[in-house]
Amino acid sequence: MVHNGIVENADELRAKLIAEGAEFVSDTDSEVLAHLIARAGGCLPGHGGTAGGGVPAHAGSPEPAGAAEQAGGARSAAKAGRANGAVTVSEAGIDLEEAVRQALTSVVGTYGIAVLDARYPDRVVAARNGSPVVLGIGDKEMFVASDVAALVRYTRQVVHLDDGEVATVRADGFHTSTLDARTTTHEPSLIEADLRSYTADGYTHFMRKEIHEQPRTVERALRGRLEERFHTAHLGGLNIDAREARAIRRVKILGCGSAFYAGQVGAQLIEELARIPADAEAASEFRYRNPVVEPDALYIAVSQSGETHDTLAAVRELKRKGGRVIGVVNAVGSAIARECEGGVYLHAGPEISVTSTKTFTATCVVFSLIALHLGRIHDLSPADGTRVIGGLHALPGQIAQILAEEERIVELAKDFTGYQGMFFVGRVRGWPIAREGAQKLKEVSYLHAEAYPASELKHGPLALVGPDLPTVAVVPDDELRDKNISTLGEIKARRGRILAVGHGTLDTRLADDMVEVPKNEPELDPILLSVPLQLLAYHAAVTLGNDVDKPRNLAKSVTVE
Ligand code: G6P
């Protein structure tokens, strides 16, 4: 059995199974599942215990020899069990699918599982609750995986299991049903991405490849969505007509990690362009605080993977309370995309590196489109609509300009790895960018990074500022530039080193180093300001020799609580 997820009542189940004679070879919750399924399938522990960790076996193999041959590993596992005389099998043993179903009734927690039984080598039984399971449909062959990335080399046709579903997969087809055995139906969907998206394509790391993909990612997010004639954006999947859009009194954006920070950029865009009160909140907090769900609010769930458990739980809590929730999601057909009433796909292609880069940018671009769309329905003037559209068109070229300056950031990153940690500060539009910059640095370089709103610095954290703690300051040329400059002065007065990321140059008395980015419209500038911070984190991690694409302790999609 392969298991992705966490069995929350594993201790209780293990104790019961041990009392019934099961012998465990590991402390994992996954082994509890294997024992449960084996027991439900009629493989009862014998006197000698199970050296094979509860691997099911059968005295008289009912299947033809050829079929047993195909079972490979499962067959040898079964042999091991028999050699030890470790298990006895009830002759009335039930079908594997039924055994999985029965076992899962006592399980509390999340799982995506694939199960083999040596007695039924022609099938794999899969089940999902919380952790993704995708079936791949091939030519006289079928696949089970936790992510389409694993399938794309073999097939483009996939089926996403829903929570509470069980599937039996054979070489020539599959059958899905609910945990209480009601048959379900699925139309296979097509994976659009090409194979090259899943390879590093000459780059040392996916993270750098994905940072460099951003000009194209932005183009894809915009493609077919700008309606110049009406100075607006057209988003077919929103499923909100103009009258409903006018009735929206509040927008609440929910996501985790980088998706949350991109949501914060989105909330500011919506407030600025559509003048609708908007804010973002960590979905992981929202779901636990018994939120008040407002009838005239629009809720937007943001997720690259579309499988983040906390975000999905927030969507379900909202739906249960009658809230209207749409998705801003990258993974087509993912759980969050399916649960939402409508939404906008990022079309960023697969993001392999654990840390988000291109999908953060694509999310901000999609929020610009949503804000433009809502803005033009509310009170954004045609002239302002055209101004924003012009800015969006300029983004890909401007990102390419920033990427061309990478060498300079390599040097800065090397320098900064000599410190224990860093501060990131930004004000209003720069604040979510500072947060995302700190998140990137933490995730891949493991250096301590703390983000603060520039205005809050003097209310506490200034006590930490000194020659040993450098600051990255996000300083766009907007109406708050003077305020930001006075923050730089406060840091400099305490001999803190400053790297400013912004527009134009700053006096060396204000910033020790400066990375200049091209100027766009003030509302869209944050999108560009985050790119140098991605490069900074990447090169710091490379300098420190870290596993950039798979940082310690992190997972690409967190499908557990
Ligand atoms: C994990 C990753 C983060 C990511 C977050 C949200 O915590 O480590 O980098 O931002 O999940 O992922 P999602 O797929 O929902 O965007």
Out of 258, 435, 443, 559, mutate this one to test ligand 1's pocket (max ligand atoms within 8 Å of CB): namely: 258
Q: Determine the Cα–Cα distance for residues 538 and 208; give it in Å rounded to an integer.
A: 7
* Cross-strand partners of 144: 135
CA 257 to ligand 1 center in whole angstroms: 5
CB of 254 closer than 6 angstroms to any ligand 1 atom: no
Task: Give per-residue pLDDT as tens, 362-385.
Answer: 999 999 999 999 999 999 999 999
> For residue 305, which atom of ligand 1 is closest to its CA?
14
> For residue 554, which atom of ligand 1 is closest to its CA?
8
According to the model, what pLDDT value does residue 93 have?
53
Flag the least confident range among 110-124, 190-204, 207-221: 190-204
**pLDDT tier at 65, thresholds 50, 70, 90:** very low
Q: Which two tokens stand for residue 340?
A: 């939402």
- Is 287 strand, coil or helix? coil
CB of 114 closer than 6 angstroms to any ligand 1 atom: no
According to the model, what pLDDT value does residue 536 have?
97
Flag the least confident range among 123-127, 274-278, 462-466: 462-466
According to the model, what pLDDT value does residue 460 have?
86
Q: Residue 20: which residues within 8 A CB-CB, separation 6 or more?
A: 39, 45
Task: Give per-residue pLDDT as tens, 381-390.
Answer: 999 999 999 9
Task: Give per-residue pLDDT as tens, 465-516.
Answer: 889 999 999 999 988 888 988 899 899 988 999 999 999 877 777 899 999 9
Q: Is the pLDDT of residue 108 over 80?
A: yes
Please calculate the CA angle 20-10-104 and round it to the nearest 5 degrees.
80
CB of 357 closer than 6 angstroms to any ligand 1 atom: no
pLDDT average, residue stretch 140-157? 92
CA 408 to ligand 1 center in whole angstroms: 29
CB of 558 closer than 6 angstroms to any ligand 1 atom: yes
CB of 304 closer than 6 angstroms to any ligand 1 atom: yes
Out of 131, 147, 253, 256, mutate this one to test ligand 1's pocket (max ligand atoms within 8 Å of CB): namely: 256
According to the model, what pLDDT value does residue 43 have?
79
**pLDDT tier at 23, thresholds 50, 70, 90:** very high
Q: Is the pLDDT of residue 121 over 60?
A: yes
Q: Determine the Cα–Cα distance for residues 367 and 218; give it in Å rounded to an integer.
A: 12
Task: Give per-residue pLDDT as tens, 400-426.
Answer: 999 999 999 999 999 999 998 999 999
Q: Is the pLDDT of residue 191 over 90?
A: no
pLDDT average, residue stretch 15-25? 95
Spatial strand order of the sheet with 297-303 comes to 278-282, 250-255, 297-303, 324-329, 343-345
Nearest CA to ligand 1 atom 15: 303
CB of 356 closer than 6 angstroms to any ligand 1 atom: yes
pLDDT average, residue stretch 136-140? 94
CA 222 to ligand 1 center in whole angstroms: 23
Flag the least confident range among 59-73, 247-261, 414-428, 516-530: 59-73
Q: Is the pLDDT of residue 84 over 70?
A: no
Q: Is the pLDDT of residue 80 over 70?
A: no
Out of 557, 559, 561, mutate this one to test ligand 1's pocket (max ligand atoms within 8 Å of CB): namely: 557
Q: Is the pLDDT of residue 300 over 60?
A: yes
Q: Determine the Cα–Cα distance for residues 277 and 272; give it in Å rounded to an integer.
A: 9
Q: Whole-number mean pLDDT of the chain?
A: 89
pLDDT over 70 percentage in the chain:
91
pLDDT average, residue stretch 152-169? 94
Q: Determine the Cα–Cα distance for residues 441 and 445; give it in Å rounded to an integer.
A: 5
Q: Is the pLDDT of residue 237 over 70?
A: yes
- The angle that helices 358-377 and 214-222 make with each other, rounded to 10 degrees, is 30
Give the residue from 259, 372, 247 showing the smallest Cα distance to 314.
259
According to the model, what pLDDT value does residue 507 have?
77
CB of 353 closer than 6 angstroms to any ligand 1 atom: no
**pLDDT tier at 526, thresholds 50, 70, 90:** very high
Q: Is the pLDDT of residue 254 over 80?
A: yes
Q: Determine the Cα–Cα distance for residues 448 and 5; give it in Å rounded to an integer.
A: 29
**pLDDT tier at 45, thresholds 50, 70, 90:** low
Out of 287, 308, 315, mutate this one to test ligand 1's pocket (max ligand atoms within 8 Å of CB): namely: 308
Please calculate the CA angle 371-375-376 and round it to the nearest 5 degrees.
125
Residues 278 and 267 sit within 8 Å (Cβ to Cβ) = yes
CB of 258 closer than 6 angstroms to any ligand 1 atom: yes
pLDDT over 90 percentage in the chain:
75
Higher pLDDT, 50 or 197: 197
pLDDT average, residue stretch 231-256? 95
Residue written as token pair 């954290």: 461
Spatial strand order of the sheet with 124-129 comes to 2-4, 111-115, 124-129, 165-170, 173-178, 183-184
> For residue 359, which atom of ligand 1 is closest to its CA?
16
- The angle that helices 431-445 and 525-543 make with each other, rounded to 10 degrees, is 20
Out of 352, 356, 561, mutate this one to test ligand 1's pocket (max ligand atoms within 8 Å of CB): namely: 356
- Neighbour-count burial of 175, counting CB atoms closer than 10 A to its CB (0-12 exposed, 13-18 middle, 19+ buried): middle
